[in-house]
Structure 1
């Protein structure tokens, strides 16, 4: 499990906040001090809170949840899209469309429209339409892809939202809060931490800092997915073993009976025939003479 280190944060400028005059007083507990009119974030707290957020996202994915990466500011678009894609998650990197989550059925209709247009361009059926309509459809595909391409395969509310700059993405966060979706966010010194469930105090403007956080959150998703896969394999093995134990045992095949031995023939016994009484008397008379 790879956490962000303080050295990495210092190298990428995570500790730099906004100008002191632009701060939000609610961020006071997470600020170390000020230098040249710029607030300096307390990186010891950032390291600790990052680990908490990292573990929360990893556990959510391990339970089968999906994470929605949100970062529509120019500095965040490329990193958020790339890391969300690497982790197999969803992302919104251009203007957040109101109702993306709270009115998802309507958004789903637009997603279906995008998929149909992509299919038509892919299989060549688009050629049946006049050239002017093809051009208009091409523009529609481009527009829908920018707005919805990152959530094209989203079938319902995500388990977690990871946000860069909650002040800019306040509409998205309000929708998440309304639906009870936990929010993990990189919170700069000018943001309201009360809007976020798992805050990561740090610079939300520097490209390198954003890339660092996005990459490690993507790693957290991949770790959770690996744990889920391992758990499923173990569960499958247990189920297989249980079914095998519950299956009726087959009776062992009976051995063929040994052939019976034939009894040896018995010699006939000659019956003694008793002599008639008359013959005995005649023999006795002869002896008397």
Structure 2
């Protein structure tokens, strides 16, 4: 059950603050407890409940060796998404989600392999045998690919789940996961339909402090469970 301390934290970082009432999705109404100056306020117990359910789902996936693809390309979510992904060695997208990442997975794998091979050759000094012009071309190509593929080097297979911050901004990732029947965990704000994903985390998805708090709690939940499993 959510306690006063957690409610205070949620309010302080803005987790319970949604969008204006005029933007509220009808399916979100059961989770809204009040309205202040036209801003919808989420029920803290609803936030906590959805957080727990999403955490339980991810714990099970992780404990069974599941692979989760993290997606959060907006500036407010990039840092937290990367930290979450790196904590569990998950692939992540924090710049631009490339169409076909999942639905054209074989092609994506070929591009990732080419990127990794070229990166390894550079690190080993194997590109030194080429002309300066060719080396410059390789350098430009690597820089361009790095922004696209660096976070995806751990995407060795189709993921068992997606974690998305702000589904409205990541429609392509959402549609690809749906097409492949990959379950989705997502931070869902008052302007979104929570029924769009299997495990919605009700909360403010546009403020950095809110996103940081939610993802921080998810990491705590998962790591606490992993410690319990290890101790058994």
**TM-score of the aligned structures, taking structure 2 as reference length:** 0.91
Aligned residues: 229
Deviations 1:133-189 (A, max 9, x none): 222222222222222211212211112211100111121111111112111111011
- Name 1:75's counterpart in structure 2: 76
Q: Which runs of 5+ in 2 are unaligned?
A: none
Q: Is the 8 A contact 2:51 2:218 kept in 1?
A: no
Separation in 1, partners of 2:8, 2:228: 28
Query: Rg: which structure is higher?
Result: 1
3-state secondary structure, aligned to 2:204: coil
Q: What is the Cα-based RMSD across aligned positions, in Å? A: 2.0
Q: Where do 1:159-170 residues align within 5 Å?
A: 159-170=160-171
Q: Where do 1:53-202 residues align within 5 Å?
A: 53-202=54-203
How far does residue 215 in structure 1 lie from its aligned partner after superposition?
A: 2.2
Q: Which runs of 5+ in 1 are unaligned?
A: 232-289
Change (3 A) 1:159 1:229: farther
Change (3 A) 1:229 1:211: same
Deviations 1:77-96 (A, max 9, x none): 11111221022222111111
Change (3 A) 1:226 1:139: farther
Separation in 2, partners of 1:124, 1:199: 47
Separation in 1, partners of 2:201, 2:77: 16
3-state secondary structure, aligned to 1:39: strand
- Name 1:14's counterpart in structure 2: 15
Q: Is the 8 A contact 1:62 1:226 kept in 2?
A: no
- Name 1:203's counterpart in structure 2: 204
Task: Return the structure number with greater relative CO, CA threshold 8 A, min gap 6.
Answer: 2
Q: Is the 8 A contact 1:6 1:47 kept in 2?
A: no
How far does residue 64 in structure 1 lie from its aligned partner after superposition?
A: 1.4
Separation in 1, partners of 2:46, 2:221: 19
Change (3 A) 1:119 1:175: same
**TM-score of the aligned structures, taking structure 1 as reference length:** 0.74
Deviates more, 1:112-121 or 1:130-139: 130-139
